[in-house]
Structure 1
Amino acid sequence: MELPDVSLIQDVKTCWNSEHAMLSRLVDLKDAVSLEMATSETSVSCLSPSEWNVAASLVQVLQPIVDATADLSDQKYDTISTVVPFLYGTEQILKGRCDIENEAGLFSKNLLKSLKSRFPLFMEQKELMLATLCDPRFKSIFCTKSFDQTQAVELLAAEVGVRCARVDSPSEQFERQTSPKKSLQTVWETVELLALQKSPRNNPRPHSQEVQKYLNEPLIPRKNDPLLYWREHGAALYTGVAQIALRYLPIPATEVPSERMFSTAGNTVTSRRGSLKPAHVEQIVFLHDNL
């Protein structure tokens, strides 16, 4: 029996991907496991053909999600902007399997129900949508009837307006220069005050035009680095949107990068290196993760 030199994998409750890994390895070693259980003196009963089919079906259902979560936990190009695409794609995959009349179909229905209960209306969450809109790989492709392209432009334009607003606005300058006790002396002073209050800074149209121009630009390939796009291309063309991208895109999609960093720190500060100062530990961890 020619089989790879591998062993079975145990399920870890704190890591749901390990359940898929366990079932996948079990299915791969089906012949060896069946032979061992049939010939060895064990009280564990052999799996029935239907149980083997269920295991294989579960692996098939979970495989696309496992692949996507692996990409989502990557430290290279996956930021919080990939959360909406991941959830959308997962929903579509599960919906396509719900019509199957077997255990895999029932499992897909339950998994889809659980996903919707944990992430209700995820396409309408402001932070997630802003991050996705600022990602040149996706932009507004996930707009729906409840959140259409017009609303997307308005949302992003409003955020650009807030970020680009001057700390010292013309109306504030006028208010400081005008004594609170001093009333307006002429008709033209009232007109000038109205002009300041209605100045273009309160009009989101310039930002809307920038946002619309950015959204109309072709998408970049999914494998490309969105931050590299903004650094080399987008920042000079869309200065307002670039500020929003700089705020949201550096946020990682999952906590995995943080867990890896803490693991690195734990491996660095051993009992023999316990006298290291916190600043030195921080420098070592930084060099380890960035070189």
Structure 2
Amino acid sequence: MELIKSNDASVTFAKPTTTTSLVWRNFNCIYVDNRKQNFVSCDTCKDILHHKSIDGTSSMMKHFRSCEKNSINNNNECLTINEYFSSRKTRSVPTRTKKKVLNATVELVATDNRAFELVGGNGFINLAQTIFDVGQQMSKSQNINVSDLLPHPTTVSVSFCGISLHFLNEELQLYVFILGCYPYDRDNQSSNQIRQFVDGKLLEFDLSLENNKFVVTDNENKMKSCFKDPCIRIGCSIHYLNKQLEHCFTSVTLEKIPVNCDLVQEMFDYIRKIVSHVRRTHKQSKLPRKLQSYSDTRFNGAFLTMNVFLTLFDDLAGVLDRTFLDDYMLIDKDLLENVCSFLAPFEEVINELSCDKKPTIYKVLPLRQCLINQCTIRQDDHDGIRQIKTFLSHRFQEVWVMQDIHYITTILHPFLKNFDFNPSLQDKAINLVKNEITKRQSSTSTTSCTMTATTTTTTVTTADLNTQPKPSTSLLLQCFDLPKNDLKTSSKPYQEFDEYMKLNVQINETDDFSLFWLTHKSKFPTLFSIVQDYYAVPAANTTIERLFSSAKNTVTDKRTSLGTEKINKLLFLQKNLTQLKQFDKKIDNVASTTDTKRKVTHHDKNSTEISSHNQEQFRTSTTVKKLKIDEDDDIFICDDDQDDKENDDF
């Protein structure tokens, strides 16, 4: 009462959200510090009444009828005896009900590893009372589960936005730099808000998105709308692949069309039930290895779950009870083996496209075609495998659409340019490359001169890429000079590309494609610039996915009080520490080089009384230092030029 009289800010009044009695129209519930109290306030006379949900609304109805402003209108109405006097019968809780609650409480503290004092806290009592009140108000016919009422444990959460920078230098070395894992502080996650947030973070590094910049994101509609322009958005290939695998095993319908993978979905449901049961009942210790739960956020998660289950298939029969043993007997082991064998190449493709140490964009088109070929139906295929192949083949061709960059990077790979995996796609790739050459033709000569003047000389030891390789029969043969390539620049618009297509390139799978382009950089300058710009684009945004995983590992149960900015700084150092050390060494080398030059200059001017022997020694020492300075300068000229390149991808 004192808090109400003093108009304390902690006291609030609110109508109940769900009510069954009309009397609540004239009363408000009282909250102190957002906690509901066992009191209500009359809207008419502002009186405070004691009220519990177990008492009903009879006392409130009596007060409403006897209220001063309503007494005139209600003089002729008679009140029942129950409205004047409450029943003397005490409402006792049945022993069976109390024991049921007691057992549930014991299970709570044991399962969640909580103290028994938890149930005595005001917060828990308020929560239990609220759930009890809601349960009374809910009709039994509504069939509502308590899990529908409880909030998600991450209701109070912080969204993060990860940004990484990818680029290739003049030596075709891939650099990946994590700009940050920023807490998203916008009002909502609309496409406009996300774009403004990303642009703001890029401006901190003096970067901006332009028409010649590539952005790799997942394939949600808001991300597609967010990065429509002025940039080129590339969809994450692994998300395309993983989403179709997820639908294959978990979705009944997709875009109002049946998925028709009933056999494998039924088997997968049995597997998930058994895995969940074994992990929940702590029977893992009886198995040689740990079963893997399914997660839709893990790439190819269904394959991982089923593959581990297949490995332990024979051992599971001895740890399951009768209920789950029946589900176990319904699983067709032959079908499970066929499904795991069929999904193994998909796992290999995901691993290939997830690499962030080397370029991967050129792999998307051929690997996608390999997966489509993998979905070709054979006569001896199981019915379940036929269902999977039909669904995935259709979805890959309909949803996983290739963009121009995939065709261009594929044909500019010396070992894929003939498109032996699908010759019908070569003509489109040729036309796209010619269009790109036309765009760059005006700046080709300038770019060629700049590259020749500012880069260091690189010695490439590789086999002859223009002719059939001869098997080496002796060590001496391996030391012979390689045939020199014709380094004359092409004069016709497409002569450079035509000569590249005519080369008979023989390269092993383990060879690096960059050796080919470094060797032919002067002969094909325009194509080299396209390779340098396009090959920096990653096939997937797994770099950011790994960044989010690192964030989860950083914020552990023992470090839950870390601020969002500290998390960003920790991840920045963790992901970029190696490169930052390299930059620091280069800065130290530049500083030491500058000091050496200054010392040499001052020493030459002031040393007039040095003996000839000392002068000779001084010249020798200076010459050696100058050689080192020249080497360092060459490296730094190359690195400084990279800052001006426009092949950065986020």
TM superposition score normalised by structure 1: 0.71
Instruction: Label 1:287 to 1:210 Cα distance change in 2 as closer, same or farther (>3 A).
Output: same
Query: 1:283: how far off?
Result: 5.1
Distance 1:86 1:166 in 2: 34
Equivalent position of 2:432 in the other structure: 155
Q: Distance in 1 between matches of 2:379 and 2:359?
A: 28
Structure 2: which amino acid aligns with 1:165?
S
Measure, in 1, the Cα distance between the counterparts of 2:571 and 2:289.
Answer: 37
Secondary structure of 2:520's counterpart equals helix
Normalized per residue, the structure richer in helix is: 1
Contact 1:161 1:207 in 2 (8 A): yes
| Contact in 2 for aligned 1:27/1:56 (Cα 8 Å) | yes
- In the alignment, the residues of structure 2 paired with residue 234 and residue 4 of structure 1 have an alpha-carbon distance, to the nearest angstrom, of 57
Of the three residues 130, 143, 151, the one matched with 2:408 is 130
Partner amino acid, structure 1, of 2:349: A
Instruction: Provide Cα deviations, 1:194-241, integer angstroms capped at 9, x if missing partner.
Output: xxxxxxxxxx982322112222331533333334543x3232221110
Q: CA deviation at 1:162?
A: 1.0
1:220 paired with 2:510, answer: no
Aligned to 1:174: none
CA displacement 1:11-47 (0-9 Å, x = unmatched): 101224111011011111111112222xx35555242
Task: Find out whether 1:165 has 2:411 as its counterpart.
Answer: no
Secondary structure of 2:318's partner? Answer: helix
- In structure 1, the residue matched to 2:307 is 24
| C-alpha separation in 2, matches of 1:22 and 1:277 | 31
Work out whether 1:287 is the aligned partner of 2:574.
no
Residue equivalent to 1:7 = 290
Counterpart secondary structure, 2:528: helix
1:54 aligned onto 2:335: yes
Residue 279 to residue 44, structure 1, CA distance change in 2 (3 Å): closer
Q: Tell me the amino acid that sits aligned with residue 498 of structure 2.
A: Q
Q: After TM superposition, list the pairs within 5 Å mapping 1:135-150 onto structure 2.
A: 135-141=413-419, 147-149=425-427
Distance in 1, matches of 2:552 and 2:515, equals 31
* TM-superposed deviation, 1:280: 8.2
Q: Which protein is richer in strand relative to its size?
A: 2
CA RMSD of aligned residues (A): 3.6
The 1:249–1:96 alpha-carbon spacing in structure 2 relative to 1, beyond 3 Å, is: farther
How far does residue 5 in structure 1 lie from its aligned partner after superposition? 3.4
Hey, what's the Cα distance between the residues in 1 that align with 2:288 and 2:579? 32
Q: Secondary structure at the match of 1:207?
A: coil
Which AA in structure 2 matches 1:11? Y
Compared CA separation, residues 154 and 266, structure 1 to 2 (3 A): same
* Structure 1 CA distance for aligned equivalents of residues 579 and 324 of structure 2: 48
* Cα distance in 1, alignment partners of residues 563 and 325 from structure 2: 47
Q: Structure 1 residues 287 and 57 mapped into 2: Cα distance closer, same or farther (>3 Å)?
A: same
Look up the SS of the partner of 2:494 in the other structure.
Answer: helix
Q: Residue type matched to 1:132 in 2?
A: T
Unmatched tracts of structure 2, length 5 or more: 1-285, 447-489, 582-650
The verdict on how the C-alpha distance between 1:17 and 1:279 changes in structure 2, with shifts beyond 3 A counting, is closer
Specify the alignment match of 2:136 in structure 1: none
Report SS of the residue matched to 1:206.
coil
Query: SS at 1:253's partner residue?
Result: coil
**Residue identity matched to 1:287:** L
Over 3 Å counting, the alpha-carbon distance change for 1:99 and 1:157 in structure 2 is farther
Pairing 1:75–2:356 present: yes
Alignment-mate amino acid for residue 348 of structure 2: D
After superposing the two structures, state which structure 1 stretch, 259-268 or 208-217, moved more.
259-268
Tell me if structure 2 keeps the 8 A contact 1:72–1:78: no
Pairing 1:256–2:537 present: no
Q: Residue 310 of structure 2 aligns to which amino acid in structure 1?
A: V
Range moving further from structure 2, 127-136 or 279-288:
279-288
Check conservation: 2:362, 2:409, Cα contact below 8 A: yes
1:252-276: per-residue Cα shift (whole Å, max 9, x none)? 1111122223444665687568776
Corresponding residue to 2:392 among 89, 93, 111: 111
Aligned-residue offset at 1:50: 5.6
Partners of 1:11 and 1:229 lie apart in 2 by: 43
The one of 303, 313, 317 aligned to 1:34: 317
Whichever residue aligns with residue 317 of structure 2, its letter is S
Deviations along 1:141-176, one digit per CA (max 9) or x if unpaired, are 158565444x54343133123123149x9xxxxxxx
Structure 1 position 80, deviation (Å): 1.3
| TM superposition score normalised by structure 2 | 0.34
CA distance in 2 between counterparts of 1:56 and 1:277 reads 43
Q: Distance in 1 between matches of 2:577 and 2:441?
A: 34
Between 1 and 2, higher relative CO (CA 8 Å, sep ≥ 6) is seen in 1
Counterpart-to-counterpart distance in 1, 2:547 and 2:441: 34
d(CA) in 2 for partners of 1:133, 1:162: 18
The answer to whether the 8 Å contact 1:207/1:240 transfers is: no
Contact 2:551 2:567 in 1 (8 A): no
Give the structure 2 partner of residue 241 of structure 1: 527
1:183 aligned residue: none
Aligned mates of 2:569, 2:292 — CA distance in 1: 39
CA shift for structure 1 position 119: 2.3
Shift of residue 10 of structure 1? 0.7
2:374 to 93, 97, 118: 93
Is the contact made by 1:77 and 1:225 (CA closer than 8 Å) also made in structure 2? no
Query: Take 2:308 and 2:386, find their aligned partners in 1: how far apart are those partners?
Result: 22
Q: Once the two structures are aligned, what percentage of the paired residues are identical? A: 19
Aligned length: 248
What per-residue deviation string (whole Å, max 9, x for no partner) do you get for residues 172-198 of structure 1? Answer: xxxxxxxxxxxxxxxxxxxxxxxxxxx
The answer to whether the 8 Å contact 1:27/1:55 transfers is yes
Q: What is the CA–CA distance in structure 2 between the aligned matches of 1:116 and 1:98, rounded to whole Å?
A: 22
